[in-house]
Amino acid sequence: MKVEELINLAKLSWYKRGIFLCGQEFTEGVVVNCSSLRTARQLLTSLLDALGAPYPESATLYQLEERAVRGLLGAEVVVLRDFDGLLSGRSARRVLAYLKSFLNRSRAVFVLTGSESVKWAILSDQQLSRRFWGV
Quickly list DSSP for 22-78.
ETTEEEEEEEEE-TT--SHHHHHHHHHHHHT----TT--HHHHHHHHHHHTTS-SEE
Q: Comparing 16 with 32, which gets the higher pLDDT?
A: 32
The Cα–Cα gap between 47 and 44 comes to: 5
Residue-wise pLDDT tens digits, 70-100: 988 877 788 888 888 888 877 888 888 888 8
Residue-wise pLDDT tens digits, 107-127: 888 888 888 888 888 888 888
The Cα–Cα gap between 125 and 110 comes to: 17
Domains of the chain as residue ranges with CATH: 3-115 (3.30.370.10)
